[in-house]
Amino acid sequence: MGTNETSSRAPRRALVSGASSGIGAATVRALCARGYEVVAIARREDRLASLAQETGCTTMVCDVTNEHDVEAVRAYLAKRGSLDILVANAGGAIGADPVGEGDPRDWSAMFELNVIGTQRLIRAMLPLLRHGALEHQVADIVSLSSTAAFVSYEGGGGYNAAKAGVHAMLGALRLELAGEPIRVVEIAPGMVHTEEFALNRFAGDEAKRDALYEGVEAPLVADDVADVIVYAVGCPAHVNLDLVQMRPVAQAAQHKLHRGPLRPKL
């Protein structure tokens, strides 16, 4: 039996972090459109307010690097029952400096956000997810890593290490949850053209952002990743997509990005 919105039971309830833009916001839209009940969390209240107006999701301001914020979300959810799906999406790259020159504060911030923020969410929500699994057969922890977790590249050291940390953590978690009906799904996207990812990486430098995507035919967009997340949580309860690596066709590998039109070699 499927676990998604087609179930005759009450809609499954999802918590999505990093919901104010990009993949997080797209995931909130996609889940709401398919009848899931969604609580969207992020730091920026104004963006959450527009998302709520557009989709009907519930929102809470939450910085996943702040223990009190995460505890407030847990308490809010606990008062209203269980949780079925956690989409731990908050993350990103800060800086693009070589290892020998990078600012350790940027590295700490990346680890706090990507690794520890994800662990903090999982730790807080796991008891609620266990109740969700009891109610709806299965619960889901979906976490966003990156193809950067698997292949290093110049200037990516801090981000490579942080996302590799997310991947390693999810592997341990999947083993620890063996025997429970809780899926641990890692989505590892390659190049996704979002409003903010590259801007954060390049400290707001729009020229560098534009150069990154220059000439790339159809990079992934946030909706592509959201579609995969929706697919993963809608799979039959016994099916776990452990790891989904996804890239635009133009990006054969981290260092093999084709700029220009894609054409068959005839």
Residues classed as catalytic: 159
Is the CB of 48 or the CB of 90 nearer to ligand 8X3?
A: 90
Q: What is the C-alpha separation between 28 and 259, in angstroms, rounded?
A: 31
Is the CB of 117 or the CB of 189 nearer to ligand 8X3?
A: 189
143 lines the binding site for ligand 8X3 (CB under 6 A): no
17 lines the binding site for ligand 8X3 (CB under 6 A): no
> Do 3 and 12 touch, CB atoms closer than 8 A?
yes
Q: Two tokens at 8?
A: 């005759």
Among 148, 164, 184, 225, binds ligand 8X3 (CB under 6 A): 148
Among 23, 191, 226, 250, binds ligand 8X3 (CB under 6 A): 191
Q: How far is the CB of 95 from ligand 8X3 (least distance, A)?
A: 13
Among 190, 219, 234, 248, binds ligand 8X3 (CB under 6 A): 190
Q: What is the C-alpha separation between 57 and 52, in angstroms, rounded?
A: 5
Total binding residues toward ligand 8X3, as defined by CB under 6 A: 8
The mark string for 153-172 relative to ligand 8X3 (x by CB under 6 A, - otherwise) is ---x----------------
Q: What is the C-alpha separation between 206 and 201, in angstroms, rounded?
A: 11
Q: Two tokens at 83?
A: 């949780």
147 lines the binding site for ligand 8X3 (CB under 6 A): yes
Q: Which residue is nearest to ligand 8X3 (CB)?
A: 146
Q: What is the C-alpha separation between 139 and 12, in angstroms, rounded?
A: 9
Q: What is the C-alpha separation between 149 and 157, in angstroms, rounded?
A: 10
Q: What is the C-alpha separation between 207 and 220, in angstroms, rounded?
A: 20
| Cα 194 to chain centroid, rounded | 13
Give residues in contact with ligand 8X3 (CB under 6 A): 146-148, 156, 189-191, 254
